[in-house]
Amino acid sequence: MTRLAPLALVILWSSGFVGATLAARSAPAETTLLWRYVVVVGPLCAWALWTRRRYDAGFLVREGVIGILAHGGYLLAVYRAADLGVLPGTSALVASLQPPLVAALLWIASSGSTDRRQALGLLTGLVGVLLVVGSGLSGAGGSVGLAVVGLGTLSLTAATLVAGRWPQPERHGVLDSLTVQAVVALGFFAALALATGRAAPPPDADFWLAVAWLVVLAFVGGYGTYFYVLRVSGPVVVSAWLYLTPATAAVWAWLMFGEPLTVRSAVGFLVAAAGVAAVVRPQRAVSPDLRVATPARACTSAVE
């Protein structure tokens, strides 16, 4: 699972950008996000009750903060950008600014201690992403849409750093985290949808198809693998894997919406993959600021 999780992360995380575009055809962001979490919270809470999970105050606070940042702030931005017409690949490009942001903030926190190979890999990955998307920054959605995605990227960056610097208790796994985060996100989006008068779902079968896509692929798959890889490999590595999501989102968009694929996109993917390989390659000694505490033990507990 440790080897397959990064590949699953790239595929499933990128599906979220496509799901946001699908949902934008039927309903505004607030409506889609509310019902996405209405659907997902029931089974997760039922699982928690069935297995008699117990969460202390510290765990609830940790996951609540991450839920607001990683689900509330990030998803609202991506879905609002889709409402404004920003294409999936373009959203993925802006979101790909997260890896250098994470690395830069950790570099500051560690008083300038960093790994040069990882820094070069992050730079190479960013170049690859720019090749993939090409002129997408001048496309639909405009500067407002791009700024919205940028704010969401900052929110996800903050969530990643909180999760990486505030280790999760080993007795709790990824499903425990997702359960608490989903409940918090549901409260956030319910308040937002009710305040804007957008809580009622549209009478459209395509809307529920989009919700099912977002629940199964983007939430359970995307967020599940994201937090698993984060626990096992740390914030820099999990962020670096996101460099491959713009190209993967472009393939999704080609399959779903008929958007063209180019040779430059393929070259960009290979360049980004080279950068990711440089970041994730094992090292003899890794600064504790770039890894989650006791990763070997976290690996076994994440799937309990």
Cα dihedral 22/182/148/17 (nearest 10): -30
Amino acid 56 reads D
Give the chain's residues under pLDDT 70. 1, 89, 107-116, 118, 132-142, 282-304
Domain ranges of the chain: 4-301
Distances from the Cα of 106 to the Cα of 167, 290, 304, angstroms: 15, 7, 29
Predicted confidence at residue 286, as pLDDT, reads 42
Predicted confidence at residue 114, as pLDDT, reads 58
Predicted confidence at residue 278, as pLDDT, reads 79
Q: Give the 3-state DSSP-derived string for the chain, with helices as H, strands as E and coil as C.
A: CCCHHHHHHHHHHHHHHHHHHHHHCCCCHHHHHHHHHHHHHHHHHHHHHHCCCCCCHHHHHHHHHHHHHHHHHHHHHHHHHHHCCCCHHHHHHHHCCHHHHHHHHHHHHCCCCCCHHHHHHHHHHHHHHHHHHHHHHHCCCHHHHHHHHHHHHHHHHHHHHHHHHCCCCCCCCHHHHHHHHHHHHHHHHHHHHHHHCCCCCCCCHHHHHHHHHHHHHHHHHHHHHHHHHHHHHCHHHHHHHHHHHHHHHHHHHHHHHCCCCCHHHHHHHHHHHHHHHHHHCCCCCCCHHHCCCCHHHHHHHCCC
CA–CA separation, 149 and 126 (whole Å): 17
What angle in degrees, to the nearest 10, is found between the helix axes of 174-196 and 29-50?
Answer: 140
- Which phi-psi region, left, alpha or beta, contains residue 62 (left: φ > 0; alpha: ψ -120 to 50)? alpha
Tokens of 90: 């373009």
